[in-house]
Copies of this chain bind each other. A is one copy, B any other.
């Protein structure tokens, strides 16, 4: 397997890697080996699919005995590129923005929240877990001087379009969008729309039909 093929890996495969990763993380301290059927059971996929997924990236197991937990954990870590730190800013210090700020600033998940930006003068200067809320008017200036990888959008849909343009045009590599209107994908920026309303609406369907 060489790097040229990396681009062709299906989204579905990528989306399962964090599940494997998190389970391995949770057992790494007290378990040395794990088989594909054990690991797959915890994640809720077939062992065949798990092995098929890993096969995109290399050969990490031992025939007969399974996988070394530490080794497989590190391999998935490398694959997901979690060895470096990603700088992020949150746009919007409302309750959702604050919640996400608290969530990630207290965990160690290779993302570092550098600033929160908001439009409300009353809260500018306030700190959330030692991260300062700054005036949104200084966003452009801040981005010009600081390399930011990820923009986390927690503002209403009506104002999010302009802000997203500023972010993508300033070289931000990914947008994680919690506003209720989807951001269209663009060539130079990875977009992940996290629409909580859509998610809830499928729940109401399933309540009635399962």
Contacts and interface: CB of A to CB of B under 8 A. Distances in A.
A60 interface: no
Contact of A202 (B18, B198, B201): B18
A146 interface: no
A107 B196 CA distance: 12
A103 interface: yes
Interface stretch (A29-37, A78-86, A133-141): A78-86
A81 B199 contact: no
A96 B95 CA distance: 7
A14 B209 CA distance: 11
Contact of A190 (B14, B102, B207): B207
A86 B67 CA distance: 45
A58 to B, nearest CB: 15
A133 to B, nearest CB: 14
A110 B198 contact: no
Given A9-B209, A44-B184, 10 more contacts: A14-B202, A14-B205, A80-B201, A81-B205, A82-B201, A95-B98, A107-B197, A111-B200, A174-B203, A194-B196
